[in-house]
Amino acid sequence: MKKLLILKMMMFSLFALYSNLLFCKTIKITKAQNAPVKICNPQQIASCFRDKLTANHPFEIYHGKKTEYVALLIHGLSDSPYFYKDVAPIIFNKGINVYSIRLKGHGTKVEHLKQVSYLDWIEDVKFGMKEALKRGKKVIIAGFSTGGGLASYFATTKKNNAHIRGLILFSPAISLNMDAQVLCELSNENREQLGYEYVSPIEHSHGVKYQKIAGHAVCELDKLNQQFGTFLNRGGQRGPVYKIGNYRIFQIDHFESKFFDILFNHNFKELKVPSLTVISEYDDAVDINGAFLMLEAAVGPGTIVHFSDGTTRESDRDNLQILKYTVDELPHAEILTKKQKDSFTPIGNPHFAKVEAALTDYLNKYFVQSN
C-alpha cells in the first residue's frame, strides 16, 4: 500500500512537471497590440489590481465618454502596468481617461526579453498613442524608468509629440548608470560568457515583475537613450565619465558653456509641454543627471519632486521648480507605489503622499480646468 502511494505521488509529480514545462512552452511573447487589456470598474479601481492572474495585464479606466485629456501609462523594464495601481486612480479622479500598455517581452516569461528591440517598444508606444486618442482629444504621456525614457523620446521629437500636452516621469531612464554602459560595450555572446546574460536578480517572486532582467534588454534601453542626441567627437578621447544618449562628456568642469548650449538645445528644447518628474538621489538603476539635463534644457514649465540624500539641486530656469525632500533611502523601483501589505510587491514609497500631492497640483494646474 505504501509503495503504491509513493508510486502515485511520483506519477503526480512527473505529471505536474510535464504540465509546467508544456505551459512554459506555450507562453507566447506579446506586444502592446495583442496583450489582453482589462477594463477597470471606475467605482472599484482598487479591485482591478487584486487578481494575481491578471495583475500584470494592461488596463484602462474609462469615464464612459471621450475626455479632453487621456493619460497613456508606460511601465518599466521587467515590470508591468501593475506598478501604476496607485497613480492611475489619482489621474482618473481628475476627469481624465486612463489607458496603459504592456511593452513587448513583458508579462510572459523573462526569456522573451532576449527577443526584443527598442524599436519594438517605440512601436508599442505608437500603438498606445493611437488607442489613447480614441479615448481623449489630447495625451498626457507618463512613464516609469524605461517607460520614462520612451515617454521623453516621444515628447521631445516633433514627429511624435503633436498630440502630447503633458509629460509625467517617475525615475526616468534618460541615461543609464556606468555599470550598464560598460555592460553594453560587450556583445551578447561575451555577456553570456561572463555571466551577465541576466542581471539585477530580486528575491521576491510574483507575476507583476520578472525576477531578473536580460542583459540584452538593458542594452536595447541604452540604444533608446542614444536617440536623444548625436555623437560629438572630442578628439578621439575614450573612457567617458558621463554619458547622455550619444553625447559622451569628458572632464565636465573644463568644458565651455557653448558646448553645453549645443548639448541642451539639441533635442530637449522640443519639450515644450508642462512636465512633472519624480526622482530619487538614491536611484541605483539610472543616472538621474540625464533627467536633470533634459529638464534644464526644456522650454515648457516643469516640477521636479527630488527625494534627496541631502544633495541640493538648483536650476537656472525660472519655470522649473525643484521640490526637495531629504529622505533616508528610496531606491529606483520603490518611487511609484504605496507601501501596502496586500500588494503583490513588498516594495513601496513611504513618502508617496508627497508624490500624490505633487501629481494632484500638476493635474489641477494644467488639465482639470479644461475638462
pLDDT in tens, 262-274: 444 456 888 999 9
Average per-residue pLDDT for the chain: 83
pLDDT of residue 243: 42
Amino acid at site 230: T
Q: Which residue has the higher pLDDT, 162 or 248?
A: 162
Residue 337: band (very low, low, confident or very high) from pLDDT cuts 50, 70, 90: very high
Strand 242-244 versus strand 320-326 pairing type: unpaired
- pLDDT exceeds cutoff 70 at 53: yes
User: The domain spanning residue 156 has which CATH number?
Assistant: 3.40.50.1820
Q: For 207, phi and psi rounded to 5 degrees?
A: -85, 0
Its domain, for residue 142, covers 2-368
- pLDDT exceeds cutoff 50 at 249: no
- pLDDT exceeds cutoff 80 at 178: no
Number of domains in the chain: 1
Cell numbers that stand for 252 in this block: 565636465
Q: For 253, phi and psi rounded to 5 degrees?
A: -65, -20
**119 CB-near residues (< 8 Å, 6+ apart):** none
pLDDT of residue 1: 44
pLDDT of residue 193: 82
- pLDDT exceeds cutoff 90 at 326: yes
- pLDDT exceeds cutoff 60 at 18: no
Residue 284: band (very low, low, confident or very high) from pLDDT cuts 50, 70, 90: confident
Give the mean pLDDT of 347-362.
95
DSSP classification of residue 54: T
Residue 20: band (very low, low, confident or very high) from pLDDT cuts 50, 70, 90: very low
Q: Which residue has the higher pLDDT, 75 or 1?
A: 75
Give the C-alpha separation, 151 to 122, whole Å.
10
pLDDT of residue 5: 36
Residue 183: band (very low, low, confident or very high) from pLDDT cuts 50, 70, 90: confident
- pLDDT exceeds cutoff 50 at 234: no
**Range scoring the smallest mean pLDDT among 159-173, 200-214, 304-318, 342-356:** 200-214
**55 CB-near residues (< 8 Å, 6+ apart):** 49, 80, 82, 206, 207, 208, 344
Q: Which residue has the higher pLDDT, 371 or 26?
A: 26
Beta bridge partner(s), residue 100:
73
